[in-house]
Structure 1
Amino acid sequence: MREGNKAGIRRLFLPAAIASGVLFGAQSARAEDQATTISRGAYLATAGDCVACHTKPGGAPFAGGLVIASPMGGIVASNITPDPDTGIGKYTEEEFANALRKGIRRDGAHLYPAMPYTAYSEIADTDIHALYVYFMHGVAPLRQDNPKTELKFPFNIRAMMISWNLLFAGPPPAKGDPQTYSTIERGHYLADALGHCGTCHTPRNFLMGERSSSAYLGGTPLAGWYAPNITPSMNSGIGDWSEDDLVQYLRTGSVPGRAQAAGMMGEAVEHSFSKLTDEDLHAIAAYIRQIPKIEDSQAKQPRDRFGVAVQPIVDLQKPKLDREDDLFPMDGERIYVNNCAACHGLDGAGAADHFTPSLSSNAVVGAPGADNLIMAIVNGVDRTTNGHHVLMPGFGPTSDVQRLSDTDVAKLTNYVSGTFGSGDHHVTAQDVKVAREGGPLPALVKDMPALIGAGVIAAFAAMSCLIWWFRRRTQKQK
C-alpha cells in the first residue's frame, strides 16, 4: 500500500478512534461515579438501620413483611426493593424523598411514624440522592406482596396523619455535604437524622409526638422495654461514660461493668452501629456527650454503679437439690439458683472474660425501673457483632430452655435487682404480663374510647343546638 493511502486511512480513522476513546472514558467515569454513589448509599442505609425494620425474620433484605408492634396495632413494613409492582421500583427521586422526609407514599397515602420520617426529614439532598441510587441500582428487586397494615379505628384513618404532621414535622434538610461537617455536626447528623436516636430515647406527649425541646433523649418506655436516658447526666444518664465507652458499646453492644445491648438496641448495634467507621462512632459519642443533661431527682447514683458480688447463696454439695418439676412454689433466690447461677454465678459475678456479664455494676440491674430486666429475662439476648455471637436464652412463654410463669419472672426480677442492683422493685405477675404484651398503653390509645364517646356526645349536642336554633328562627319568622 502506498504511503499516501496509509496517511489517508489514518486521517479517516484517527478522529473516530479518539471519539470512541473519549466516549468509553466518559462511560467508565459515569460507571465509577455510580459505583461510588451506590457505595455511599449502602453506608447511609446501614447508618439509618433500614434493614432492621424492612426485613422479616428469615426474609430477604429490604423485602418488608415485618410486623412492627405499636400501641395502635401491628404495622407491616413495606417492600423497599426496586421491584416495580410490590416495591419502590416506580418511585422517582422526588417521590422517594417525600416518603423519607414527609412520610408520604407514591400514591399519596400517609405513612405511620413507625417509619421515622420525622428524623429522616433532616437527611441532606446529597444523601437522599445516594440512598435513591443505592436502592434503585444496588439492591436486587424482589417481588413480595406483604399484608396491609390494619389498625384499629380511628388510627386506621391515614388522613389523620396530615394534622399530626403539621404539629410534629421534623427539622428541614441539612445544608451542604455532611461528609464535610465538623465532628460535632457530623455526630448530630448521624445520631438525629440517620440514626434517629430520639425516636426511641425521647419521651412522647399525649399525641405521641416527641417532647424533644424539653426532654431530648431523656428516656421513655418502648414496647415493654425502657430506652434509657442517654444524656450526660451523671446519675440519671451516661455522664460517667467516657467517649471510648460509648464507642465500644455502639461497636460491640457490650461494655463490661456498665451495660450490654439487648432488644431493639441490640438490633441497632448488630445491623447498624457496629458497621460504621470509627470516625463516625466517635462523632456520635462526642455529640451525645455534649447535649443538655436531663436530670431525674430519683436517681441518686449512676445505674451502672449498683451492687457488689455477694457470697455464695447455696451449698451445691448439699445432699438434696431442688427439682424443676416440684410443685411447691419457689422464691426468687431458688429460681435464680436453678436457672441463672450456672452462667452468672452464685455470686452474680459472671464470667472472668465477661462473656457472661456481672449482675452488679450492670445498668440493667441498677436501673430505677425493672422494665429492661423483665424483658431480658423473658426474651433473652441475641446479637452478633463483628463475628461475635452473644446469646442468653429467654425464659418466657416460648422458651426452649425453661418457661417461667409471670409470677416466677416477677420473683426472679425482684431477687436479682434486690440482691445485685438498685433494690427490690416489687414487680408483680401483672407487671410482667403488661411488659410481655408491649408495655402500658399510651394515654391517647387507652383513652380513645372515652374520647370517641365524648366526641359523639359533643357532636350530638352541637346538632341538637343547631336544630333548636333553626326551629326557633323558623317560629320567629312565622
Structure 2
Amino acid sequence: MMKPLILIPSLLLTAALAGAAAFPLALAEPSLSVPIPPQPPVGARLLNREIKPLRPHATPAADTALAQRIAAQGSASAEDQQILRGAYLARAGDCVACHTSKGGAPFAGGLALASPIGAIYSTNITPDKQHGIGDWSYEDFARLMRTGVTKAGYTVYPAMPYPSYSRLTDEDMQALYAYFSKAVPPSAQENRANDIPWPLSMRWPLALWRKVFAPTPAPYTPAAGSDQELARGAYLVEGLGHCGSCHSPRAVTMQEKALKEDGGRLFLSGGQVVDGWSVPSLRNEHGGGIAGWSQADLVEFLRTGRNQYTASFGAMNDVIEDSMQYMSDADLNAMARYLLSLPPRQQAAPYRYDSATAQAAYDGRPDGPGARIYLDRCAACHRSNGTGYGKAFPALAGNPVLQTSDATSAIRIILQGGRQPSTASATAGLVMAPYAQLLDDQQVAEVTSYIQTAWGNRGGTTTAAEVAKVRKTAVPVAERAP
C-alpha cells in the first residue's frame, strides 16, 4: 500500500504541470536605462485606429472612451497619459485575447483554454469588486503579474505567462494597473470554475512548479553600453510580448526551455505544436526560420500578417489583429531587429528556387497525383510556379512553413482553410476555402507532399495517417469564431 501513496504526489504534480500549455503572444517596455518610446500620440494615427475596431472585442470600449475624451480636451493629464500608456501595454500584451469570451465583455474572462487535463477558464480582470480585481491593490496586481500568486494566495496555472511578465518595469506595471483599475468598465460576469477533475485540480503542485521553474522576478535590465534599439526589442519580445510562450520549446514539465536570449539557442526556436499548429522558429536561420528576411519584411509581417515570403495563420492572426498592428513603428522595428539578431539554432542551406516543377506543370506533364491535385485545386491562387500573387495569395515556393519535416500546419490549412488577418493597412482578410469535404486523407497527403517538395522546398513527404490525425480537430474556417 505504501508504493501508491508515494506515487500519488508525483502523479499529481506531473498531471498538473501538463496543464501549463502555451497560449498566445504579445509585448512590453523597459527600465530607466532602456529607451521608452514616446507616449502613444493623442489624436494621431494610432488613436484613430483604436476607435475603429476590426473585430468585436479588438478595441475595448475603455480605449475608445479614453481616446474620445482626450481628443475633446485637446490634451491629456498626467493620469490620462499613464492610463493611455497602460492601454497601449495591454494592447501590446494582447490581454483581451485570453480574457474575453465570445460575445462577452472585454477582459471579463470566461474563455476556455484547452489543456491536457481539462479546460482552464480565464478570469475576470475588470475592476468589478466582487468578480474582478476591483479590490486589488497595486501590490496585489504586481504580485500576480510577477509571481503568478493571486490576492487570495493561490498560484495560477502557467497558461498565464507570468515568468515573462516578471521582467516588466515598475513604471510599466503601474501603467497597466492604472488602465485596468481606472479605465476598463467593470463587469459583474462571474468567474467560471475550471473543468479539471479532482485530484488533478489540486493547486499545490502549481506552487511547487512555480518555485522550481519560474525565474526570480527581476525587471529587464540591459547590459551596460548595449545597443538601445536591440535592448528595447529584447524587452518587448522576452517580456510582456511573451513570444516564447508559443515559439520556445517546452520540457516534459511544461516550462519553457529558455525564457530569454542568454538561456541558449532553444529560445524562440519553434518546433512544437500549439493549438493544432506547428510553431515556426523566430531565429535568423534557414530551413524554417526568418533568415533572408529584411527588417522591413519582418515589420510588415508583424503589422499585417503577410509579406513576400509567407502569411500568418492560427493564433498568430489574432495576435496581429488584436495586438501587433497597433504597435508603434519604433517598437515593431526594435522587435524585428532583435529577432534578426538571434543566431541560428541549427543552420540549413539557404533556399534555392528550382524551376523544374514549374516547367513540368507548364508543359502539361505534372509529376504524380499530388501535382495534378495542386494544378486543379490550388494553382489558380498560388500559381503553377508556386510564387503566388503578391500579398493577396502567399507564395508557397520558399515559404518557411514548407521547409520543415512537420507538415501539421500545411495539412490543417488544406483541411480547414485559412483566413488572413484584417488590419488597418490590409483590410481584405482574404479567405481560403476548406478542402476537408473534397479531398480524402490520401489526396491531402499527396498534395501536401507535393507543395513540401516542389520548387526546391525541403519539407519532405506526408502520410495519410498524419492527415487523419489532424482531420480529427480540423474546424472549417467558416465555422470558426471571428
TM-score (norm 2): 0.72
List aligned pairs for 1:253-292, cutoff 5 A. 253-256=305-308, 258-292=309-343
List aligned pairs for 1:102-117, cutoff 5 A. 102-117=147-162
Alpha-carbon spacing, 1:346–1:139, altered in 2? closer, same or farther (3 Å): same
Letter in 2 for 1:126: E
Residue matched to 1:23: none
CA–CA separation in structure 2 for the residues paired with 1:361 and 1:200: 23
Contact 1:395/1:404 (<8 A) preserved: no
List aligned pairs for 1:235-384, cutoff 5 A. 235=287, 237-256=289-308, 258-295=309-346, 299-302=348-351, 305=352, 308=355, 310-311=358-359, 313=361, 331-351=369-389, 353-379=390-416, 380-384=418-422
Q: Deviations over 1:186-243 (max 9, x none)?
A: 1111111011111111111121111112311111312321222222234563232222
Residue matched to 1:216: 267
CA–CA separation in structure 1 for the residues paired with 2:438 and 2:152: 46
Residue matched to 2:32: none
For structure 1, the 5+ residue unaligned runs are 1-27, 317-329, 440-478
| Structure 2 residue 425 is the aligned partner of structure 1 residue 390 | no
Q: Report the more deviating stretch, 94-103 or 418-427.
A: 418-427
Contact 2:287/2:404 (<8 A) preserved: no
Letter in 2 for 1:417: Q
- Aligned residue among 386, 395, 416 for 2:451: 416
Residue matched to 1:469: none
- Aligned residue among 235, 243, 248 for 1:202: 248
Alpha-carbon spacing, 1:334–1:43, altered in 2? closer, same or farther (3 Å): same
| Structure 2 residue 463 is the aligned partner of structure 1 residue 434 | no
CA–CA separation in structure 2 for the residues paired with 1:220 and 1:85: 42
Q: Deviations over 1:73-107 (max 9, x none)?
A: 32212222222222222222111112211112222
Residue matched to 1:191: 237
- Aligned residue among 92, 101, 109 for 1:56: 101
Bigger RCO (CA 8 Å, 6+ sep): 2
User: Secondary structure of the residue that 1:74 maps to in structure 2?
Assistant: strand
Shift of 1:368: 3.6
Shift of 1:134: 0.2
Shift of 1:111: 1.1
Contact 2:288/2:400 (<8 A) preserved: no
Structure of higher CA gyration radius = 1
Shift of 1:278: 0.6
CA–CA separation in structure 2 for the residues paired with 1:236 and 1:98: 38
Letter in 2 for 1:415: Y
Q: Deviations over 1:160-207 (max 9, x none)?
A: 111111121135332689xx9921221111111011111111111121
For structure 2, the 5+ residue unaligned runs are 1-72, 475-482
Residue matched to 2:209: 164
Shift of 1:423: 4.7
Give the root-mean-square deviation of aligned CA atoms.
3.0
CA–CA separation in structure 2 for the residues paired with 1:146 and 1:411: 46
CA–CA separation in structure 2 for the residues paired with 1:408 and 1:167: 47
Shift of 1:418: 2.7
Shift of 1:427: 2.1
Contact 1:307/1:361 (<8 A) preserved: no
Residue matched to 1:98: 143
* Aligned positions, number: 386
Q: Deviations over 1:144-175 (max 9, x none)?
A: 23432123565422211111111211353326
| Structure 2 residue 121 is the aligned partner of structure 1 residue 76 | yes
Letter in 1 for 2:255: G
Letter in 1 for 2:422: T
Q: Deviations over 1:236-256 (max 9, x none)?
A: 632322222211111111111
User: Secondary structure of the residue that 2:239 maps to in structure 1?
Assistant: helix
Shift of 1:376: 2.2
Alpha-carbon spacing, 1:223–1:433, altered in 2? closer, same or farther (3 Å): farther
Shift of 1:295: 1.0
CA–CA separation in structure 1 for the residues paired with 2:104 and 2:467: 30
Q: Deviations over 1:319-372 (max 9, x none)?
A: xxxxxxxxxxx9434443443233223443322x43112221212223342122
CA–CA separation in structure 2 for the residues paired with 1:91 and 1:348: 55
